Amino acid sequence: MTATYRTAAPRYVSIDIAAVLTFLALSALVLNPIFRSLSAATFLACGCLLIVSNIQHSAWLFARWWYLLLLPAYCLLSTLWSLFPDATLRYSIQLFLTLAIAIVVAGRVPASTLLRMLFIVYAIGVVLSLTIGHRPMGAAWLGIFGSKNAFAAHVAVFALVSAALVFDRTSPFLLRLSALGGALISPPLLVFAQSAGAIMMVVPCIGVILGVMLTERLTGMQKVFLSVCALIASAAFALFLMTNGETLLADILNSSGKDATLTGRTDLWAIGLSFIAERPLQGLGYRAFWVTGYAPAEQLWAMFLVPSGAGFNFHNTYISNAVEIGLLGMALQVFVIYGGAILMTVYALARPTAENAFLLGMQALVILRSFIEVEVFFEFSVRSILVVATFVYAAHGLAMLARRAPTRPRRQPNPPPAATGPGLVAGE
C-alpha cells in the first residue's frame, strides 16, 4: 500500500498597493516633525507612484473629476499676472499635484480604510507627543510639533477620528477600543495645549458626528424633518452671531485671557480687504503676497513682530486667498468646500456610516476654522486632501445610490380600440 502525500497549495498574501502608498503619503504629511525635510519628497514620491500604479484608472479619475482641478489650474494661470511668477509657478504645480493625488486616493482607497489609516497616523503623533514631546515649564504643551497651535490642530483631528471610529462596527474590536481611549484622552490634551479656540470648534464637530450616527435608525421622513430643524436652528444661530457675535466673541476671549482682537487678526483682515479692493477679480497671484522683499508683507511682518519670511497669513481663508487669486479663485474654493459639505451632509444622512460621519465632522471643522485661519488649498496640506476627498466620496456615493434606486415603470397608454369596418373584424 503506497502512501500518498498532498502538497498544500501555496498561500499568497494580498497587499493593497494603493492603501500602502496612501498610508505612507499621509504619514509623511501628518508626522512632518519626524520626516522633516523628507516630508514633501516622501509624499510626492508615494503619491506619484499611486497615480502611475494604475495610470488608466488615474486618467479616468482626472477626467471624471476635472472640475476639482480647476482651482489649481486657475492658480497656475495666475502666473501670467503674478507679482512673483516664479513663486506662483512653483507653488501652483505643487498644489496641482497635491489635489490630483487627493482625487486618486479617494478613487482607489475606501473611505472606511482611510478612516483607520488616519487614526493610526494621528495616534502615532499623539503617542510621540506624550513620550518625547516638549512641554515648557508652566507653558502650553507643544508635543513634537514645536507649536501649541500645531499640536492643538493635530489633537483636534485625532479627536474627530477617534469619535467616529468608535461607531465603526466593521473595525476590529481592539481598534475600536483604542479609538475610545483616544476620544477620552483628547479633551485633556486640548486643555494642555491651552487652545480655547480648538476646544470651542471641536465640540460642535463631535456633535455633528454623533448626530449623524444617531440618525442610523431613523426613517427617511424623520431624517428630512431632522434636517429641516437643523437648518432652521443653524439659520437662527447664524443670525444670532451676526447681531451679537462681536460682543460674544469679546466676552469669550476676555474670559479665556485672549486678546479681544484675536491677536491682531481684525487689523490683518482690514488690511487684506484693502488689497482685495485694489485687484478684486484676479488678485496678486497665487502665493505672491507673503514673499521676502515685498514691501507690504515686510511691513506686516514688522508690525506683528514676526521674522521676515516666516510663515504668516491673514488668518482668514477667504480674505487670504482672495488677496492672492481674487474673487474668481475664491469662488472656486467656496464651491469645493461648501459643495463637498452639502453633498456629504446628504450622503451621510442617507448612509450614516462612521467614515461619512467623520468626513462631515472634518468638513465642519474646516469651515469653522476657515474664518480665523487659512485652512486649505496650499501644497502638501492634509486638510486640503481631505476636503477634496470628501467631495469625491460624497458625489460618488450619491451617484451610486441614484443608480441603485428602483425606478418606477412608466405607465403605458391604453391601446387604441381596434378598427372595425367593412371587411375588418375587431381584434384583427
Tens digit of each residue's pLDDT (9 = 90 or more) over 187-209: 999 988 887 778 888 999 999 99
Q: Which three cell numbers stand for residue 42?
A: 516622501
Contacts of 419 (CB under 8 A, 6+ apart): none
Q: For position 303, what pLDDT does the model report? A: 86
How many angstroms from the chain centroid is the CA of residue 356? Answer: 12
Sign of CA dihedral 324, 329, 335, 340: negative
In this prediction, residue 340 carries a pLDDT of 95
Q: Span 70-92, mean pLDDT?
A: 96
pLDDT above 70 as % of the chain? 81
Q: Which of 15-19, 47-51, 86-90 has the lowest mean pLDDT?
A: 15-19
pLDDT confidence of residue 315: 87
Give the cell for residue 199. 476646544
- Within 10 angstroms of residue 103's Cβ, the number of other Cβ atoms is 23
Is 409's pLDDT higher than 80?
Answer: no
Lowest mean pLDDT: which of 41-45, 160-164, 233-237, 415-419? Answer: 415-419
pLDDT of residue 428: 37
> Rounded mean pLDDT of the chain?
85
* Residue of higher predicted confidence among 262 and 313: 313
Residues 6+ apart with CB under 8 A from 179: 119, 161, 162, 163, 164, 165, 166, 168, 171
Please report the pLDDT score of residue 101 as a whole number: 97
3-state DSSP assignment of residue 313: coil
pLDDT of residue 234 exceeding 50, the answer is yes
Whether the predicted model's global pTM rises above the 0.95 cut: no
Residue 201 and residue 369 in contact, taking contact as beta carbons nearer than 8 Å: yes
Residue range 256-270: average pLDDT?
A: 63
pLDDT band of residue 266 (cuts 50, 70, 90) is confident
* pLDDT band per the 50, 70, 90 thresholds, residue 115: very high
State how far the Cα of 427 lies from the Cα of 273, in Å rounded to an integer: 80
Give residue-wise pLDDT tens across range 345-389. Answer: 999 999 999 999 999 999 999 999 998 888 899 899 999 999 999
What pLDDT is recorded for position 420? 44
What pLDDT band is residue 405 in, cutting at 50, 70 and 90? low
Contacts of 402 (CB under 8 A, 6+ apart): none
CA–CA gap between residue 28 and residue 6 (Å, rounded):
47
Enter the DSSP assignment of 217.
Answer: G
What's the pLDDT score for residue 140? 74
The per-residue pLDDT for 36 is 85
The arithmetic mean of pLDDT across residues 321-339, rounded, is 95
DSSP 78: G
Please report the pLDDT score of residue 425 as a whole number.
37
Contact 368, 206 (CB under 8 A): no
Q: Is the pLDDT of residue 244 over 80?
A: no
Neighbours of 292 (CB within 10 A): 12
Round to whole Å and give the CA distance between 35 and 42: 8
